[in-house]
Amino acid sequence: MGGSSADSAPPIGRVQMGEGGCFLEIAGVEASPAPQAGRASEAGRMNVGVAHSEVNPNTRVMNSRGIWLAYIILVGLLHVVLLSIPFFSIPVVWTLTNVIHNLAMYIFLHTVKGTPFETPDQGKARLLTYWEQMDYGLQFTSSRKFLSISPIVLYLLASFYTTHDAVHFLINTASLLSVLLPKLPQFHGVRLFGINKY
């Protein structure tokens, strides 16, 4: 009576690394060659751990294929929708496009915290904005550069099409600064006046 039944039970299987990933080899079944293209073989091996390897998928969304093009198309679509409203002049449409874009960017990148996914990171992402989570906090990556340059380009277009009108210029400049300043590395993780601290 010297041991428990768990000690004397034969092992169910063993984990084995193969070309297509990690496999669980079931006891009593002969192992087959590595499966093709990450598929599990029929000879008793099952693919284990083939899902994405990101702890927090928020970190890589802006590096996904086609996301920059979709972003540009959505901004263009916003501009076309605003142009279709008959009582808006061209300068007003450009200023509204700039302000709505920057407001959405500020809310989604610099205000909303956490992640919509269930992540095994022990709640580390809970207190971080999307901008702080992106690319694991690395500064000056291609995604961060794109998201920093796009409001500047939109600002320049809005300034040109509003013919540098003083009122539009002030509104567009304030809007630009509201999204550019939080992107600076000096403001990474900083909460001014305790706003959005929790």
Residue 143 within a domain: yes
Residue 120 within a domain: yes
pLDDT at 139 over 80: yes
Residue 116 within a domain: yes
Q: Which residues contact 38 (CB under 8 A, 6 or more apart)?
A: 20, 21, 47, 50
pLDDT digits (tens, 9 = 90+) for 37-65: 545 445 555 555 545 566 677 677 788 88
Strands of the chain, DSSP E: 13-18, 21-26, 45-48
Domain that holds residue 163: 83-187
Residue 137 within a domain: yes
Residue 173 within a domain: yes
pLDDT value for 40: 47
The total number of structural domains in the chain stands at 1
Residue 99 within a domain: yes
In terms of Cβ atoms closer than 10 Å to its own Cβ (0-12, 13-18, 19+), residue 3 is: exposed
Residue 48 within a domain: no
pTM recorded for the entire structure? 0.69
Helices 90-105, 67-83: inter-axial angle, 10-degree rounding:
140
**Bigger pLDDT: 73 vs 28:** 73
Give me the amino acid identity at 144.
R
pLDDT at 191 over 90: no
The average pLDDT across 6-27 equals: 53
Residue 67 within a domain: no
